[in-house]
Amino acid sequence: MKKLLVAAVAALSVTALHSQAPIKPAAKKAAAPAHSEGLLPRFPDFGQLPPPGVYTGRIFKLSQDYPKSLPQMDSAVKKILAIDFTKDWKKYMLAVRDYVYEGNIEADGVANAFYLEDNKVRRWYHVPWQHYGPFGREGIHGLTKEGPVNPYVLAPTQSDGWQTYAVGFYNDLGGYQIGRVWADSDNPRIDIMESEGFPIGTVVGKVLFTTAPVSEVPYLTNPIEWLAYTTSAFIPFDAPRVMNTVRFIQMDIMVRDPRAEFGWTFGTFVYNGALAEVNLWHNVIPVGLMWGNDPTVSSHADSNPKPTKTIINPDLHQTVINNDSNMPPMHLGFGLRLNGPVDNVASSCMSCHATAQFPAISPIMPSMALIDGKEPVPGSKDWMRWFRNISCKRPFDVQGTSTDYSLQLAASIQNFLAARSASNGGLFNVQYWDGLPVHQIYGQRGAEPNQSQEPGHNQK
């Protein structure tokens, strides 16, 4: 098993690390005073803001006034959990979509959507410590830089590679647990996630945007466009920041649902402007839903990295894929498991999030790992380790501490330690991982610095 803990993620993700002893959280300190109105925020809102004269519009605010006691479950969430997703998965997904949208998309103009402080219906919360490093939050919409999108992955007309940016948020149940982990802003309580995880009824939403133009991705017609302070190119990671237009392409959802084998359901939507809904945010089509990883299905013969049509694998029983003719062709993931349009074809929604732990010992995808110096063969035992049904609160690696399928929470802890280590010579690294360095997480969607690109094409 030791060889399975050796992962190579180039320079983009967390370097594989070794230890003979289990992970132990740092000694607990007394909780810092609770944040309240009139006090300075405990965590920075963003890490990248356009200079004066370049942008004078609205600025992103981190929603961090986390509930101090466990909230009652929202009646809308109770209705979601009453829907049998195995029999009516579309109804389930649309109910979650409406729950995420309500109060977030009624703003005057699409540019004012998803400023969480405007929501008069319910509270949503961000994960802190997403501001740090070259992939960190920009200051207009709070978007973080995620993985690249290689040519032809989005559409046959996509001749160039492009970037992805996203902002995610948790409902009050999830916000409560995030607040408990970060109650002491100098000493995150990772043990809480291992012992408790997120409460049942936690809902996560994430809206994703691409720099790809409509001319290359026709279903982005009639687009939702945001101004964002993005890097000028995907590589190098610290490329200069520029004002850019990004377009809404995907929305991901997660629900802490005890009926799912591993405790969560995952869903994703794709934008299709041709639907021409009055409210542009309703121009989304469910791609599918998954509540398990079908760990016995190892075939990958129908891999579809350059889709001209959506191919459905009939052997999958814990993934359902939409066959609606209005859905643009989707590449999906390994073995045609659920993945969104900007996600990596070698993975799945669940398999990536299953690696959410501290430290990030294994990379988020098998194609980013080295086992005995080699990338595992697709469908092999080593490869299928990423497609297990891992119960919530269980770490991906036995030496790790689970963050209960939250890559954002894992990244926040990793970023915190990377920043502290840079300023104090590595003290925090010693506390957490046997004296070996903990590196910053770059991106959360299978980004690889050495992804092949066609000659002459750059990630923009």
Is residue 447 in some structural domain? no
pLDDT at 451: 33
Counted domains in the chain: 1
Residues 6+ apart with CB under 8 A from 430: none
- Report the pLDDT value the prediction gives residue 417, as an integer from 0 to 100: 85
Pick from 253, 249, 246: nearest CA to 270:
249
User: What does the pLDDT read at residue 418?
Assistant: 84
Structural domain including 404 reads: 2-432
Q: Is residue 412 part of a domain?
A: yes
In a domain, 455, yes or no: no
Residue 456 belongs to a domain: no
| Residue 442 falls inside a structural domain | no
- Give the closest residue to 459 by CA, choosing from 244, 233, 230: 233
Given this model, what pLDDT does residue 158 score? 98
pLDDT value of residue 28? 38
Kindly state the tokens that stand for 295: 């760990």
Q: What is this structure's pTM?
A: 0.87
Q: Does residue 149 lie within any of the structural domains? A: yes
As given in the structure block, the two tokens for residue 152 are 């032809």
Q: Which two tokens stand for residue 239?
A: 């490329």
Residues of the chain with pLDDT under 70: 1-41, 301, 424-460
Q: Return the ∠ at Cα 100 (arms to 336 and 290), rounded to 5°.
A: 20
* pLDDT in the model for residue 424: 66
460 domain residue, yes or no: no
Q: Is residue 438 part of a domain?
A: no
Q: Identify the pLDDT of residue 40.
A: 52
pLDDT of residue 399: 86
Provide the pLDDT for residue 437: 44
Give residue 445's pLDDT. Answer: 60
Quick one: pLDDT at residue 452?
A: 33
Look at residue 55 in the predicted model and tell me its pLDDT. Answer: 94
